Structure 1
Amino acid sequence: MSTATAPSDAAVPEITDIGYGRVFAGFYDRLFPQDGSADRTAATLAAWHPGGPALELGVGTGRIAVPLARLTGEVVGVDSSPEMLERLRAAVDGSGAAVTPVHGDIRTYDDGDRYGLVYCVCGTMSLVLDPAGQRAAVARAARHLAPGGTLVVETHNPGFVRTLHEGLSRTSFFAPYPEPGTGLQTYSTLLAEQNLWHTSHLLHEPGGTRIGTEVTRLTTPEDIDAYATDAGLERVSLHGDWSGAPFVAAQSPVHISRFVRAAVRPERS
């Protein structure tokens, strides 16, 4: 079992929370269509997991951690948002999943434990808006890996975002959901000089519309690869989705990088 607890008040760094959970926690899970995508993500992570407990950086409501725990056992989930962690605790209570919620900052978190799998998915890494902060988060993730452990990072693909914009700095798009009268409308702005992506999401449901705005850093696979290399890791696969499709620079909505410690290398895919 993991001993994921804060060491002591004097040793705990300040936890910086950007307020994402205050905006999105109440409808975060509704932003993702109930199409089995979370289970597919968990299944792929489970296939890459060499064993032992797992650590999720940016666990949110447990959308991935809960199904992963059913497949592999214990998951420690770190998040800076008290609101997201409250939702996670409710999900754990309701499911009995072996997920331990921990309040922490992914750039500085250190529980002294080592994990077979550390992962940061669903665009969490891009919510860290500066390269130094992203580098620190990947370095912390690498520090938590057991020998032969696996790190997985997934975030938005800047090439796909630019393709959506078709040369415009501002655009909007609508994704209908299967339920009648529901869908997600997004107003999107590229802040090219700052390398940032500003989006406002309107979730339309029969009971009303909920709105959330976020700013993310346009983070490339090369960025993540450089951070991981500096942390002593080696990339063994790069995919464009959780089914294992190859990454295509201008077409893949996300990029998913898998890294390992050099001591043990899985078969490339």
Structure 2
Amino acid sequence: MTATRTAASASTSASAVVEDIGYGRQFEGWYDRLFPRDESAATAAARLAALHPGPASGTVEFGVGTGRIALPLARALGAPVTGIDSSPEMLAALRSAAEADAAGVEAVLADIRTYASDRSVGLVYCVCATLSMLLTPEDQARAVARAAELLAPGGRFVVETHNKPAVLAAHEGRSRASYFIPYPEPGTGLQTHSTLLPENDLWHCAHIWFESDGTSRVGTELSRLTTPDEVDGYARAAGLVPENRGADWRGTPYDEEAPMFVTTYVKPARASS
């Protein structure tokens, strides 16, 4: 049975203010066109399921969005996934998808920098560059620290985010670049106008989505680019141990030219007395 709730009934304080950057309002109704529930989502979910130390121990996704990963992961685990997001629009889409899918995904309106629970879990994951949408090192470190706090000893934290060296290389020394990505469906594609703001490691993207019927949609996003070493630093400061790094969910070895990187971290088991 599908479980859903809001921050008012979650372990976080009902009076806490959830800062929403408006991402869901911009991409409402077409987010799933940009990030379809396709084989790539199934591959990510399968990899996360394989990394889970024990499905019964619990699972939390930071930045669940519309459930592209959480829904197939819940099916693969045969156990619920708690999805945290600051966007009411994204969570509304998740609830609709979860009801149709009959998967056990619990939707929680909360801030990944402050979310807390009275239950430890075996797996926390933060994918699709959610970590990069926090725009300061301090906020990124806070989110990683929250993940570490949620984990039980022996639990695992998984991060997938933009690979800064690859993004910089794609600009070839320029502050601005434009590119077009055709999608499999005939007549569809995504045009992106990309701007680097190097003084703050920020990356601004304006997207135009083209539908096959001739209509288009526009959305923008701002990210803070990080190197793998920087994310490792956040994790170590939170008491986590880097375990493995790859370029994608298929386990391809990390490469500076890969657009994303996937890193796993482990929370050390308590020393026996």
Question: TM-score normalised by the shorter chain: which range applies?
Answer: over 0.9
In 2, the alpha carbon distance for the partners of 1:99 and 1:34 equals 16
- Cα deviation digits, residues 51-86 of structure 1 (max 9, x gap): 122100100000000000001121000000000000
C-alpha contact 2:61 2:124 (8 A) present in aligned 1: yes
- What is the identity, as a one-letter code, of the residue corresponding to 2:30? F
Q: CA deviation at 1:261?
A: 1.2
Aligned to 2:76: 71
Q: CA deviation at 1:206?
A: 2.0
Aligned to 2:164: 158
C-alpha contact 2:12 2:117 (8 A) present in aligned 1: no
Aligned to 2:219: 212
| SS in structure 2 of the partner of residue 181 of structure 1 | coil
Count of matched residue pairs:
262
Aligned to 2:247: 240
C-alpha contact 1:129 1:217 (8 A) present in aligned 2: yes
Distance 1:54 1:220, change over 3 A: same
In 1, the alpha carbon distance for the partners of 2:117 and 2:28 equals 25
1:123 to 116, 119, 129: 129
1:24 to 23, 27, 33: 27
In 2, the alpha carbon distance for the partners of 1:100 and 1:200 equals 31
- What is the identity, as a one-letter code, of the residue corresponding to 2:121? Y
Aligned to 1:6: 10
In 1, the alpha carbon distance for the partners of 2:12 and 2:268 equals 33
Aligned to 1:267: none
Distance 1:19 1:123, change over 3 A: same
RMSD: 1.8
Aligned to 1:254: 260
Q: CA deviation at 1:140?
A: 0.4
Aligned to 1:189: 195
Gaps in structure 2 of 5+ consecutive residues:
none
- Residue 203 in 1 paired to residue 203 in 2? no
Q: TM-score, normalised by structure 2?
A: 0.92
In 2, the alpha carbon distance for the partners of 1:9 and 1:244 equals 38
Aligned to 2:42: 39
Distance 1:247 1:8, change over 3 A: closer
